[in-house]
Amino acid sequence: MKAQNQEVQDKIDTFYKYLSNHGKKMNYGSAGGGDHIGSGAIESANKFISHTRLKRSGAWWYIKYANNMLKIRCAKYNGTYDKIVEKYKKEDQERIKNKKFKQNLRLVK
């Protein structure tokens, strides 16, 4: 195949050089492990986790609350939900404890 002009030929040469230098890195079949090399699985997970919950008929969200809902749903599906809930329970208990403690203190002059 002959290039139409020198600019096209330079691009072909650059691409060929890139493939020659990095061809071993592109042998995805030998990597094993069954890892996906496309974005289809991620896009499908995104649709499953976010769209089915946030895009229900008649639903509307403030961004702040939508992001929190997505965090919870991601935690559910990646197996960290229980750990995160315990963390927030502890933080909430601390906040309540500190609030009660501060209300009982009075500044004496």
The model's confidence at residue 29, banded by pLDDT at 50, 70 and 90, is low
pLDDT at 10: 92
Count the neighbouring beta carbons within 10 Å of the beta carbon of residue 84: 14
Token readout for 105 is: 């203190």
Instruction: Round to whole Å and give the CA distance between 72 and 107.
Output: 41
How does residue 109 score in pLDDT terms, banded at 50, 70 and 90?
A: low
pLDDT score for 15: 92
Q: What is the DSSP secondary structure assignment for residue 47, as one 8-state letter? A: I
pLDDT of residue 81: 92
Evaluate if residue 82 carries a pLDDT over 70: yes
pTM of the model: 0.45
